[in-house]
Amino acid sequence: MTDQERTAGGIAGKVAGKLKEAAGSLTGSDALAREGRLQEAQSDAELEARREAAEAERERAEADLEMERERNREEAGRLRAEVTEEEREAQIEDDRRRAEQSAEAEAEREKLDAEAERRAQTRQAETDEQRAERQRLQEAAKTIELEQEARRAEAQADQLERKED
């Protein structure tokens, strides 16, 4: 076999190499036996290279898969953090709304209390004015009564004086 000839590789090349080696041994052709051994060795090397390439491809695929898993874990973590942040912001907004509503309700209660107090003070002032007016009227009536009594007493005194004169 010359350098320009190409031998079959893989399993077929290995079988062909064994056959050539056996034929060379039977026929006493050292060249054919050597060619058979070389072809077998070349086939073994090619099979080993294929196995190594397949192993390398498997390892690359595993590494790619692990990288993809890591990216997925990172993305899941990022999404969890994003959801947590959105939930926190929603809670803050809810708390703000509740505080605002509470403040508005408190302001309304204070307004109603102030209005009730104003009305109570107005009623009290009106009651005080009415009481003062009644008291003024009673005192005026008493003054009139005392004045009338004083006039009667004067009139009696005048009558008594006239009688004595």
Residue 7: per-residue pLDDT: 55
> How many angstroms separate the Cα of 128 from the Cα of each of 113, 116, 143?
22, 18, 22
Do the Cβ atoms of 17 and 39 come closer than 8 Å?
yes
pTM: 0.43
How far is it, in rounded angstroms, from Cα 124 to Cα 128?
6
Q: Please tell me the number of Cα atoms within 13 Å of 95 on its side-chain side.
A: 6
Residue 17: per-residue pLDDT: 77
Of 10, 13, 7, give the one whose Cα is nearest residue 49: 10
Residue 35: per-residue pLDDT: 85
Residue 113: per-residue pLDDT: 97
User: Could you please report the per-residue DSSP string of 110-164?
Assistant: HHHHHHHHHHHHHHHHHHHHHHHHHHHHHHHHHHHHHHHHHHHHHHHHHHHHHHH
Residue 65: per-residue pLDDT: 97
Of 10, 4, 35, 1, give the one whose Cα is nearest residue 20: 35
The SS3 assignment for 12 reads helix
pLDDT per 10-residue tile (average), the chain, 165 residues: 52 79 85 85 86 96 97 97 97 97 97 96 95 95 95 90 79
> How many angstroms separate the Cα of 93 from the Cα of each of 88, 89, 97?
9, 6, 6
